[in-house]
């Protein structure tokens, strides 16, 4: 991604910001290229906002938010229902737009959008989700009840790898709760966010409630420092997540920051190997491995299991088809950019230097007619050990590492002792093994014969350790708590004449 002054770009598409119900052309001198990963060419230009544009977006949001919050939850839910309907009607064109910027195949992009739609569907129940608690007669003529009220203006900073799903995970609950939302999408995949904002306006969302401001670190820091932004949700790498969390928290904001991952899949000797391999292949190589819930590490228990698994993986990988994002027969497409491709290749080189066995090398792959695209064939390592840096760090590409274990206890220790703790899975027919794994593994999301254990929308998504900073997860009921504040009311309505009793001790209900 290059940052340089704007220059004439011929017919190159310009990606706008979206403020107060309208697209807004970029102003200022800094801009960024948006690439098509399948071709390796610039397809659009993205103007990078300066803090004054963020100030305008926040001011508009702050002015609009009280009226939106004052609507009863049922009316806000109706807007969300219509928003969901409009996205569903346009899912094909949205998926194609997403794939053109990210590189994932169109079918995968539809899944990206659908997982976001699931969260919109969940928050259509916002009248129920916002219900508080009530206790009657806690003392003489005294009742206590609680309310959940919006925070005001909140923000989301989203990554390149899920340009629809993660923005919707954030903005849908935030807006349904009565907040106004500032979205700062990834500079690599910005266009879907603008189209989603347009559809939200078409659905009846008032102007100013959903603002899209494009930018780089300048705008991220401006969001974190802005006094009128009360909460920030973030997804990205762990180092950046920690920085965002600390800076935002220091500014007094409520923070929710999701970081990187190195998810493990344990394969027991009794596993249904055919099903496990099919699951592992999809979880490791789908979306070119650019998922925080990908499965880049597989842990066979026992040497016989390891040999059987390796042979089965090689057979399955040989059938994979790497292609352009619009190829309906492709299993996965290119990675997002040239720099990211080079980073993945560096990790492959590192793994070889560290002594891992490179069984399949995905470097050097070229697709006819798309020689400049950012493609990598599937890579497979065996005999990887926990001391290797290539194991310790997140690669975020189509690279699968086999780490062999002798016992279930040894296998459980691998994800449990890793710096990341997003997800872990086990493949087994044994309820005893599954129960032990579930109880002991140190990860936030666990799969039993499920390779990518991303919870459904009415639960919540969140990892442990350096995979998450903050104590509330994304979507589900945690998102309602994150985007609201609790007000507890203690009230007394006397039903009889009472004697005024002045007291200087803390009140009790006895």
The catalytic residue positions are 292
Strands 484-492 and 134-139: unpaired
- How many H helices and E strands in the chain? 16, 24
CA 229 to each of CA 120, 151, 180, 190: distance values in angstroms, whole numbers, following the listed order: 23, 9, 10, 21
HEC assignment per residue over 458-501: CCCECCEECCEECCCCECHHHHHHHCEEEEEEEEECCCCCCCCC
CA 78 to each of CA 174, 204, 205: distance values in angstroms, whole numbers, following the listed order: 15, 9, 10
Cα-trace Rg, the chain: 25
Instruction: Please identify which residue in the block is written with the tokens 């807007």.
Output: 79
E strand spans, 264-398: 264-267, 297-300, 357-360, 379-382
What is the residue-wise DSSP string for 77-88? HHHHHHHHHHHH
Phi-psi region at 475: left, alpha or beta (left = phi > 0; alpha = psi -120 to 50) = left
Q: Which of 144, 138, 148 is nearest to 489 (CA)?
A: 144
């Amino acid at each position: 991604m290059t940052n340089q002054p704007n220059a004439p770009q011929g017919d190159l598409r310009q990606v706008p910001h979206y403020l107060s119900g309208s697209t807004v052309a970029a102003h200022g001198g800094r801009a960024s290229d948006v690439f098509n990963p399948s071709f390796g060419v610039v397809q659009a230009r993205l103007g990078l906002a300066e803090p004054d544009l963020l100030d305008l977006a926040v001011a508009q949001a702050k002015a609009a938010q009280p009226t939106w919050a004052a609507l009863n939850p049922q009316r806000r839910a109706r807007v969300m229902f219509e928003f969901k309907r409009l996205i569903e009607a346009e899912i094909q064109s949205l998926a194609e737009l997403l794939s053109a910027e990210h590189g994932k195949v169109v079918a995968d992009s539809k899944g990206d959008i659908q997982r976001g739609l699931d969260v919109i569907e969940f928050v259509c129940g916002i009248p129920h989700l916002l219900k508080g608690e009530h206790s009657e007669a806690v003392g003489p003529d005294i009742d206590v009840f609680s309310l959940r009220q919006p925070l005001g203006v909140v923000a989301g900073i989203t990554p390149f790898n899920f340009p629809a799903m993660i923005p919707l995970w954030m903005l849908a609950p935030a807006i349904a709760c009565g907040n106004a939302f500032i979205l700062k999408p990834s500079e690599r995949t910005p266009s879907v966010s603008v189209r989603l904002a347009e559809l939200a306006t078409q659905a009846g969302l008032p102007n100013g409630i959903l603002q899209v401001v494009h930018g780089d670190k300048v705008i991220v820091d401006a969001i974190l420092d802005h006094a009128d932004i009360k909460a920030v949700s973030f997804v990205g790498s762990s180092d950046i997540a920690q920085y965002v969390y600390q800076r935002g928290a220091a500014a007094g904001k409520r923070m929710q920051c999701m970081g990187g991952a190195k998810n493990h899949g344990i394969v027991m000797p009794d596993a249904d190997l055919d099903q496990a391999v099919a699951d592992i292949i999809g979880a490791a190589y789908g979306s070119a491995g650019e998922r925080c819930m990908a499965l880049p590490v597989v842990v066979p228990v026992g040497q016989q299991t390891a040999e059987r698994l390796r042979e089965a993986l090689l057979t399955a990988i040989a059938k994979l088809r790497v292609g352009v994002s619009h190829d309906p027969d492709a299993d996965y497409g290119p990675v997002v950019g040239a720099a990211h491709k080079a980073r993945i290749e560096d990790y492959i080189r590192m793994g070889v230097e560290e002594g891992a066995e490179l069984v399949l090398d995905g470097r050097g792959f070229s697709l006819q007619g798309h020689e400049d695209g950012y493609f990598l064939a599937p890579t497979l390592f065996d005999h990887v050990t926990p001391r290797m840096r290539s194991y310790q760090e997140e690669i975020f590409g189509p690279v699968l590492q086999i780490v062999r274990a002798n016992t279930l206890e040894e296998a459980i220790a691998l994800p449990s002792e890793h710096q990341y703790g997003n997800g872990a899975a086990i493949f087994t027919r044994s309820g005893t093994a599954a129960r032990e794994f579930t109880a002991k593994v140190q990860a936030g999301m666990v799969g039993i014969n499920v390779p990518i254990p991303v919870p459904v929308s009415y639960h919540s998504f969140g990892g442990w350790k350096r995979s998450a900073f903050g104590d509330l997860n994304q979507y589900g009921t945690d998102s309602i708590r994150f985007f609201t504040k609790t007000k507890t009311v203690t009230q007394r309505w006397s039903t009889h004449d009472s004697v005024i009793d002045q007291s200087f001790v803390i009140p009790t209900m006895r």
